[in-house]
Amino acid sequence: MKLRHRVLLAQLPLLLAVLGSLVFGGAAVQGLAQHGRDVLHENYRSVVAAQRMSEAIERLDSAALFHLAGRTEGLAAQVEEHRAVFEAELRVEEGNITEPGEREMTESLRARWARYQATHTRLMQADPAAAHTIYFAELFPEFQAVKADASRILELNQDAMVRKSDTAAERAQAMRRSWLFSSVIAIFGALALGAYVSRRLTGPLTTLSKTAEQVGAGQLDVTLPHSAVAELDAVANAFNTMADRLRLYRRAADSELARAREAAQAAIESLADPVLVLTLKGEVRATNGAARRVLGIDARARRLDACDPVLLAAVDTARESVVTEGRPVLPTDFARVVVVDSPEGERAFLPHATPINDAVTGELVGVTVLLQDVTRLRRLDELKGDLVQTVAHELRTPLTSLGMALHLVLDERVSGPMAPKALELLVTAREDVSRLRALVEDLLDLSRIQEGRVVLRREPSSPAALLSEVRQGVAAEAVAAGVNLEIDASTDLPTVAIDRARMAVALTNLVSNALRYAPSGSTVLVRATAAGGGMRFEVDDAGPGVPKADREHIFEPFVRGESAPGRGAGLGLYIAREVARAHGGRIGVARADMGGARFWIEVPE
């Protein structure tokens, strides 16, 4: 049998139960409605007739009293109208006798009504004195008798209506109980049959699900049994074919994976620098010979607990950075260098870490850590720093003396008038000496920063006053560049605890950098704003801006943009960065509102 036929068969009992319940409920509702119609037909009309007869006989009695009072105008028409009403309603009652004893009551009412009419006619024709006697002696007792018979008919039918209503309620309650009982029986029967059919259907599906889980767990030697359902049997055959192919593929993939693993291990073994492949929790999955020698572990080690604590901390830091941020750790300076002792002497390593992602899901599954041996590079960097510091110190004094000499020579009060050509050469020489002195000061600042000899002297400072000082320092440079320099700093800004001299140097470097790139006639805007409980300084220009690819490296020492004008050494932004970091702040660059670059420094309160 096909699957859709079995599904329809499973739904059929429930459908039959619903239809049976609907039919039973409809029959019950129809029966109750018919009972209500019977009550209206059998008793309600008699009740209305009795009420109308009582009203009509009362109007006739009122007419007799009016006659006794001598007010006879319109009485004849009133009498005829209410006699006709009483007669009509009496005929209705005579044709609607439904209760035991009602016929006798109706016959008695007919006889009393005939006597009442005759007496009422005599009274209406008699003189007032005789009419008075007829009314109290004959007509009024007959009026009470007629009304009493009508009331008995009314009460009989009203009692019948109440009794039938109670009977109908009892019948409805019984039908409700029967309907509920039959519905429950039908539903339970339908559910039982449906559960049986569903179990026959879901059994093969459950087997398929469990088998699929086993295959997903790597157990490819399982097979699905055949099913009596055609569609499920086709699925079982397709699944078994897939498992066979997966077994063949696994054997081929395992062989290829083994070759790839051997090739990868050979590749990392050939590297001179230590390489470790770690899990997200720090367990070792693979190492090369250099790593085993440096860390002092063997090829079977799965933990690095016995390694040098300093080196272990550096490896863990690089791994955790990759796990947390999901990005490679690729340091470009010696700030993260780890120095360890070895039999060959002191060695310096720079940790690099890259993520290992699953080829299918892209999920991070491991981290590769490479300990780059930068011992020689670090030594060369130290020698370079020492050389730079020595040269800067040696040049500082003669450049100062040379600058003073040129200043005196250019003073006509000392050397007298000069030829224009000589004056031009001396002015150029003085500018070159000034530039060299600025370069020497930058190099000395660089040496102090790299040696960690920068000591801040913090004091509460006004941002407006600080920017005014910076403006005075670069005013001549702005005029020479043809750039308008604007300061935006309110005097109401709170003071900030900074080393005013060093922060002025940092901001001056940023403004000088902006003036070099800003086109002539444009504006460089320097502003200070409160930000996050601290202070933010911004320098905006209308120059070409900084490409995104250069923003990560532009604050490194000796880095200059490809289109950088002038002959700067590339130290100004680096010094500004170190000053910001020394204050516990940040520095960055973004696109300015005027289209150029916006360099900013944020310092905490």
Interval 273-301 mean pLDDT: 80
In a domain, 225, yes or no: no
In a domain, 539, yes or no: yes
Token pair 């780059």 is found at: 372
Mean pLDDT is lowest, of 47-61, 71-85, 221-235, 585-599, for 221-235
Angstrom distance (rounded) from CA 526 to CA 306: 55
pLDDT for 463 equals 92
Mean pLDDT is lowest, of 139-143, 195-199, 248-252, for 195-199
- Choose between 549 and 185: higher pLDDT: 185
Angstrom distance (rounded) from CA 190 to CA 19: 12
- For the record, the structure tokens of 472 come out as 């005075």
Q: What is the dihedral of CA 542, 547, 552, 558, to 10 degrees?
A: -70
Q: With 70 as the cut, is the pLDDT of residue 280 above it? A: yes
185-190: long-range contacts (C-beta < 8 A, 24 or more apart)?
186/16, 186/17, 186/20, 186/21, 187/14, 187/17, 189/13, 189/17, 190/13, 190/14, 190/16, 190/17
- Choose between 178 and 190: higher pLDDT: 178
Quickly count: other Cβ atoms within 10 Å of residue 103's Cβ: 12
Quickly count: other Cβ atoms within 10 Å of residue 419's Cβ: 8
Asked whether 211 and 222 are in contact (CB, 8 A), the reply is yes
Q: Are residues 414 and 501 in the same domain?
A: no
Per DSSP (E only), the strands in 163-273 are none
| The pairing of beta strand 484-488 with beta strand 523-531 | parallel
pLDDT for 213 equals 75
Quickly count: other Cβ atoms within 10 Å of residue 268's Cβ: 20
pLDDT for 466 equals 92
Range of 61-65, 164-168, 180-184, 253-257 with top mean pLDDT:
61-65
Asked whether 143 and 113 are in contact (CB, 8 A), the reply is no
Q: Which residues face 525 on adjacent strands?
A: 486, 540
- Choose between 153 and 215: higher pLDDT: 153
Angstrom distance (rounded) from CA 114 to CA 146: 10
pLDDT in tens, 514-560: 998 899 999 999 999 998 778 999 999 998 888 887 777 788 776 66
pLDDT for 243 equals 73
| Exposure class string for 34-49: b at 16+ Cβ within 10 A, else e | ebeeebeebbbbbbeb
- Choose between 362 and 335: higher pLDDT: 362
Q: Are residues 49 and 113 in the same domain?
A: yes
- Give the helix ranges, DSSP H, for 363-499: 375-410, 412-415, 420-450, 463-481
pLDDT for 113 equals 92
Q: Are residues 358 and 463 in the same domain?
A: no
What is the CATH classification number for the domain harbouring 358? 3.30.450.20
Q: With 90 as the cut, is the pLDDT of residue 64 above it? A: no
User: What stretch of H or E contains 160?
Assistant: helix 140-216
Token pair 């068969």 is found at: 9
User: What stretch of H or E contains 498?
Assistant: strand 496-498
Measured CA to CA in angstroms, residue 530 lies from 490, 533, 534, 538 at distances of 10, 7, 6, 11
Q: Are residues 421 and 339 in the same domain?
A: no
pLDDT in tens, 440-494: 666 666 566 555 555 678 899 999 999 999 999 889 889 988 999 999 988 888 9
Quickly count: other Cβ atoms within 10 Å of residue 9's Cβ: 15
In a domain, 478, yes or no: yes
Interval 341-350 mean pLDDT: 74
Q: Please provide the DSSP assignment of 246-272 as one string.
A: HHHHHHHHHHHHHHHHHHHHHHHHT-S
Asked whether 303 and 284 are in contact (CB, 8 A), the reply is yes
Angstrom distance (rounded) from CA 563 to CA 574: 18
Q: Are residues 27 and 86 in the same domain?
A: yes
Q: Are residues 399 and 502 in the same domain?
A: no
Mean pLDDT is lowest, of 121-125, 201-205, 475-479, for 201-205
Split into its structural domains, the chain has a count of 4
Mean pLDDT is lowest, of 306-310, 369-373, 393-397, for 393-397
pLDDT for 523 equals 92
Interval 128-151 mean pLDDT: 88
In a domain, 254, yes or no: no
Measured CA to CA in angstroms, residue 176 lies from 26, 31, 182, 296 at distances of 12, 12, 10, 87
In a domain, 200, yes or no: no
* pTM of the complete model: 0.41
Q: What is the residue range of 472's domain?
A: 459-603
Final residue of a domain: which of 323, 340, 373?
373
**Cα dihedral across residues 231, 237, 240, 246: positive or negative:** negative
Q: With 90 as the cut, is the pLDDT of residue 175 above it? A: no
What is the CATH classification number for the domain harbouring 413? 1.10.287.130
Q: Are residues 336 and 403 in the same domain?
A: no
Angstrom distance (rounded) from CA 455 to CA 464: 24
- For the record, the structure tokens of 400 come out as 């100062």
Q: Are residues 440 and 539 in the same domain?
A: no
DSSP state of 416: -
What is the CATH classification number for the domain harbouring 558? 3.30.565.10
Angstrom distance (rounded) from CA 55 to CA 83: 11
User: What stretch of H or E contains 130?
Assistant: helix 128-134
Angstrom distance (rounded) from CA 433 to CA 446: 20
Final residue of a domain: which of 373, 400, 432?
373
Range of 117-126, 160-169, 355-364 with top mean pLDDT:
117-126
pLDDT for 49 equals 87
- Band of pLDDT at residue 381, cut at 50, 70 and 90: low
pLDDT in tens, 555-605: 877 666 655 555 555 678 888 888 888 888 999 999 888 788 999 999 997
What is the CATH classification number for the domain harbouring 51? 1.20.120.1730
pLDDT in tens, 8-47: 665 666 566 667 666 655 555 555 555 555 555 568 888 8
Residues 6+ away with beta carbon under 8 Å from 559: 553, 570, 573, 574
Measured CA to CA in angstroms, residue 397 lies from 400, 432, 440 at distances of 5, 15, 10
Which 3 state secondary structure label does DSSP give 342?
Answer: strand
Q: Are residues 332 and 399 in the same domain?
A: no
Asked whether 122 and 173 are in contact (CB, 8 A), the reply is no
In a domain, 179, yes or no: yes
In a domain, 230, yes or no: no
Ramachandran angles phi, psi of 183, nearest 5° = -65, -45
Angstrom distance (rounded) from CA 190 to CA 182: 12
Angstrom distance (rounded) from CA 548 to CA 372: 27
Q: Are residues 36 and 163 in the same domain?
A: yes
Q: Write the single-letter amino acid at 254.
A: D
In a domain, 214, yes or no: no
Mean pLDDT is lowest, of 92-96, 287-291, 393-397, 480-484, for 393-397
Mean pLDDT is lowest, of 71-80, 276-285, 418-427, for 418-427
With a pLDDT cut of 90, the percent of the chain lying above it is 12
- For the record, the structure tokens of 537 come out as 């300084």
Q: Please provide the DSSP assignment of 257-311 as one string.
A: HHHHHHHHHHHHHT-SS-EEEE-TTS-EEEE-HHHHHHHT--TT----TTS-HHH
Q: Are residues 386 and 367 in the same domain?
A: no
Final residue of a domain: which of 322, 344, 373?
373
pLDDT for 393 equals 55
Q: Are residues 28 and 105 in the same domain?
A: yes
pLDDT for 227 equals 65
Provide the mean pLDDT of the chain.
78
User: What stretch of H or E contains 370?
Assistant: strand 364-373
pLDDT in tens, 231-243: 666 777 777 787 7
What's the alpha-carbon Rg for the chain, to the nearest Å?
A: 57
- Choose between 12 and 192: higher pLDDT: 192
Interval 191-217 mean pLDDT: 70
